Amino acid sequence: MGESKIFICVLATDIDECRITKVRDSCFGDCINLPGDYECRCPRGTHGNATERGGCIAESPTGLIIGLSVASGPVFLLLVLGITLVLRKIEQHRKEMLKQKYFKQNRGQLLQQLVSQNADIAERMIIPVDELAKATNNFDKARELGGGGHGTVYKGILWDLHVVAIKKSKITI
């Protein structure tokens, strides 16, 4: 005849194990509730065994140190190169200013005026320094004619066999 069927419906509710005192006392890290279970993990930035007191150890910043070293290498190299270039530029500017000072001090403007007035004289008066060194045998003491407050005068023989007096300034660059 008629059978009756009984259905039993059980509602399962999850228990938060992390709130249980026994679990709280045995987890020394972060307790994470899972359905029907829990997990005890070391906090972020640490590693080890979270179920032991003092079991979570801080991670060493080795990765950070390596990353910073690799990134700072090229930056440091560019910085050194930049400083070197700036120092060179400053040194060149200083030398140029010193040249201008000596040019004015040694009456270079007078020579420039003579050159602009008569090219023939200029061609004979302007001689490269290496040519002057050859003419005076590298400013040899035996070729010295005399000296004064501004420099020493040497006897020189040019490539065209003209004998000339060459004054070498005491202040040189």
Is residue 24 situated within a structural domain? yes
Give the separation between CA 142 and CA 75, rounded to whole angstroms. 56
Structurally, the chain folds into a number of domains equal to 2
Q: What is the pLDDT of residue 15?
A: 78
Decide the pairing of beta strands 56-58 and 46-48: antiparallel
Task: Using the 3D structure, point to which of 28, 58, 88 is the last residue of a domain.
Answer: 58
Give a yes or no: residue 33 inside a domain.
yes
CATH of the domain at 168: 3.30.200.20
- As given in the structure block, the two tokens for residue 2 are 């008629």
Whole-angstrom CA distances from 87 to 58, 74, 81, 94 are 45, 20, 10, 10
The verdict on residue 63 lying in a domain is: no
* CA 92 – CA 89 distance, rounded (Å): 5
Joined together, the tokens standing for residue 64 give 């950070």
Considering the domain boundaries, does residue 101 fall inside one?
no
Q: Is 116 a domain residue?
A: no
User: Which residues constitute the domain of residue 160?
Assistant: 127-173
Domain's final residue, options 42, 58, 74? 58
Task: Give the CB-side neighbour count of residue 24, counting CA atoms within 13 A.
Answer: 5
Residue 29 CA, chain-centre distance (Å), reads 45
Q: Is residue 170 part of a domain?
A: yes
User: pLDDT means per 10 residues in the chain (173 residues)?
Assistant: 63 73 77 84 86 83 78 89 96 92 77 62 68 90 86 87 84 60
Torsions phi, psi for 154 (to 5 deg)? -120, 150
Is 48 part of a structural domain of the chain? yes
Q: Is residue 141 part of a domain?
A: yes
